[in-house]
């Protein structure tokens, strides 16, 4: 279970030189085994929210809890143990340039656990087959297309079978077929392993069908938190406009 309780995050604004609230009073809950879709216009604070959840950014106000662990207050050792249970795919893929595809995918496994070489090879092969990149083990990230990098990043995020799966734009830049396949894969993986998934995507048409719940973040505030069906008929005109993709409205 991922629980956010009136979360507030401030970041330094480079242009003005002061600290500005990026997230303000955000509360939501992702029950175990659920896929939660977080959507919203650009620069709303979606990526900041994800990074705060996994403990990469400081919690300024409120509470972030993964199961029973308070991320903001966790001791370093506790945080390290927690990170074994988190998998994250980044918006910019964050593939290490000097490692092969196989080493990239195996990186969290090797760092956080102590697997045997055979185990690593087997798991990497299984993940690559899942994202339809069989045989790509020895390629370097620089030689991959944008969509292939996205899929490698997803494979790396899921190699440890993490109970918490955090996805930041997992399918941006993918063609419609690969994109649909990836979302189906997310759904299958989460259902099979019973993990908790928090996903950000601009591809509402493909994200919403696999989501159990959806949240709409605008300007650092969570305007809506509920089921997909509720979102489609939301009372707030901004949420209604965004979810239904209407050109006219308050946004």
Partner 1 sequence: MGSPLETPQPLVLHERPLVKLGRVALDAVSGVRALVSLFLRTLWFTFRGSRPKGATALQAFEIGNRSAPFLALTMAFIGMILVYQSAVQLGRIVPDYSMVGANYAELLVRELGPTIGGLMLATRVGAGMAAETASMVVTEQVDALRLCAADPVDFLVVPRFLASLVMTVVVIVLCSGLAYATGALTALVAFDVRLDVFVNLSLVDFGDVATGLTKSLAYGAAIPICSCHCGLAAEGGSAGVGRATTAAVVLSSLAIIVINFFISASAFLVGL
Q: In whole angstroms, give the CA distance from residue 85 to residue 81.
A: 7
Q: What angle do CA 187, 191, 194 make, to 5 degrees?
A: 130
Q: What angle do CA 239, 87, 218 make, to 5 degrees?
A: 15
Shortest distance in whole angstroms from residue 51 CB to partner 1: 7
Shortest distance in whole angstroms from residue 112 CB to partner 1: 6
Shortest distance in whole angstroms from residue 76 CB to partner 1: 9
Enumerate the β-bridge partners of residue 2.
Answer: 30, 66
Closer residue to partner 1 (CB): 57 or 231: 57
Q: In whole angstroms, give the CA distance from residue 219 to residue 41.
A: 8
Residues 37 and 43: beta-carbon distance below 8 Å: no
Shortest distance in whole angstroms from residue 168 CB to partner 1: 9
Closer residue to partner 1 (CB): 88 or 130: 88
Closer residue to partner 1 (CB): 104 or 179: 104
In terms of C-beta density within 10 A (0-12 exposed, 13-18 middle, 19 or more buried), how is residue 53 classed?
A: buried
Close Cβ partners of 14 (under 8 Å, ≥ 6 residues apart): none
Residues 113 and 160: beta-carbon distance below 8 Å: yes
Closer residue to partner 1 (CB): 56 or 251: 56
**Parallel, antiparallel or unpaired: strands 2-12 and 19-30:** antiparallel
Binding interface with partner 1 (CB under 8 A): 14, 51, 54, 56, 80, 83-84, 86, 88, 90-97, 107-108, 111-112
Closer residue to partner 1 (CB): 119 or 205: 119
Closer residue to partner 1 (CB): 201 or 231: 201
**Residue 231: CA count within 13 A, CB half-sphere:** 27
Shortest distance in whole angstroms from residue 191 CB to partner 1: 24
Shortest distance in whole angstroms from residue 17 CB to partner 1: 9
């Amino acid at each position: 279970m991922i629980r956010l309780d009136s979360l507030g995050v401030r970041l330094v604004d480079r242009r003005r030189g002061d600290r500005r609230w990026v997230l303000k009073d955000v509360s939501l809950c992702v029950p175990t085994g659920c896929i939660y879709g977080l959507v919203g216009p650009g620069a709303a604070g979606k990526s900041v929210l994800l990074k705060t959840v996994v403990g990469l950014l400081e919690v300024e106000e409120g509470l972030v809890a993964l199961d029973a662990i308070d991320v903001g207050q966790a001791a370093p050792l506790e945080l390290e143990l927690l990170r074994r249970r988190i998998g994250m795919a980044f918006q910019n893929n964050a593939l290490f340039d000097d490692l092969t595809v196989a080493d990239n995918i195996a990186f969290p496994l090797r760092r956080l656990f102590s697997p045997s070489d055979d185990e690593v090879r087997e798991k990497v092969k299984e993940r690559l087959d899942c994202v339809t990149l069989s045989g790509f083990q020895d390629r370097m990230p620089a030689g991959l297309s944008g969509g292939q990098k996205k899929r490698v990043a997803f494979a790396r995020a899921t190699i440890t079978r993490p109970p918490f799966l955090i996805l930041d734009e997992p399918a941006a830049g993918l063609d419609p077929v690969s994109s649909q396949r990836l979302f189906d894969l997310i759904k299958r993986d989460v259902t099979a392993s019973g993990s908790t998934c928090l996903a950000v995507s601009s591809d509402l048409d493909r994200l919403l069908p696999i989501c159990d719940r959806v949240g709409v973040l605008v300007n650092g505030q969570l305007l809506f938190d509920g089921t997909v069906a509720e979102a489609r008929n939301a009372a707030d005109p901004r949420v209604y406009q965004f979810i239904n993709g209407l050109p006219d409205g308050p946004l």
